Structure 1
Amino acid sequence: MSYLVLKYLHVIGACVLLGTGTGIAFFMLMAHRSRDAAFIARTAGVVVTADLLFTASAVVVQPITGLLLAREAGFPLGEGWILLSLVLYGVAGAFWLPVVWMQARMRDLARAAAANGEPLPAAYHRLFRWWFAFGFPGFGAVAGIVWLMIAKPGW
């Protein structure tokens, strides 16, 4: 596979990670602010699907294309910016995996509340606070990786 094709796939993957993450955060926050359990349930259902379809695909593609790109460009995997990128990738994954579970659980809690004509339970609100907090280090790690990918600082 040519270097430019690999680079293209890698950049598209980074765009998908950042774009999907930003979109999901926005739509979940707007649904939450509505306090409408049925709307939250529908939005969270779409969000979970988008995360599994788009984010999960990019999560698989990024390390593969990154490894192949480093090899093609002659960068040793022990290069500082590559190692830091890998650490940040682990951080992003450590925060993303629980977030996917939280989104599915919030969806289920909102569905049950809507079906029973009840307000959102305390468990939903607790999960939302954790979900919101986990977004900062997860998103920050991905943003940091993109910066490292572009700048390739020579430490």
Structure 2
Amino acid sequence: MIEPYFFAKLIHILAAVVVTGTGAGIAFFMFMANRSNNPQAIYITTKLVVLGDWLFTTPAVITQVVSGMYLMHLLGYSFDSDWFYAVAGLFILIGLCWLPVLKIQYRLRDLAQLDANKNQVSKEFKSLMRTWTLLGIPAFAAILIIFWLMVFKPLSVV
């Protein structure tokens, strides 16, 4: 039988992989579709990005929170430690970037559909895509910093 700690740790790591992999994949495919200036490719990509965020990113983020809290409980880590404040602060930063990105993705998808019908990429799409990208950069950097905090625990956890 698997101990609860190891099972929770496995789930937590898998969820982190899904969040990071999906985020990197979505960013790559959106970037490449946007660069193609192909309205049909952009539309298909934006539709799949919205779907991918709901199918993969959202459940993985929820799993991260639940499994992370459970692991902290099992390990006796303090919710009043510098380490937790750093992780929670970065997680909040990611959320503050990701929530507008979700809204923007719906608008990008809708614009892409209109653009596909006109067979040209609009300036509004390009402008919103820049905003989407600018929000993704600090969010992804924060994910990498959280990985560092998780592995090296440079701050007190108790």
TM-score (norm 2): 0.93
Q: What's 1:142 paired with?
A: 143
Q: What's 1:20 paired with?
A: 22
TM-score (norm 1): 0.95
1:87-123 residue CA offsets vs partner (Å, 9 max, x unmatched):
1000001101111121221111111111133x21121
| AA matched with 1:39 | A
Choose the corresponding residue for 1:59, options 58, 61, 75: 61
Unaligned stretches of 5+ in structure 1?
none
Q: Distance in 1 between matches of 2:129 and 2:115?
A: 15
The root-mean-square deviation of aligned C-alpha atoms, in Å, is 1.1
Within-5 A mapping of 1:23-38: 23-38=25-40
- Deviation (angstroms), 1:52: 1.1
| AA matched with 2:65 | P
Runs of 4 or more off by more than 4 Å in structure 1? none
Tell me, what secondary structure is at the counterpart of 1:154? coil
| AA matched with 1:41 | Y
| AA matched with 2:127 | R
Q: Distance in 1 between matches of 2:21 and 2:91?
A: 16
1:36-77 residue CA offsets vs partner (Å, 9 max, x unmatched):
111100011111100111100011111111111011011111
Q: What's 2:123 paired with?
A: 122
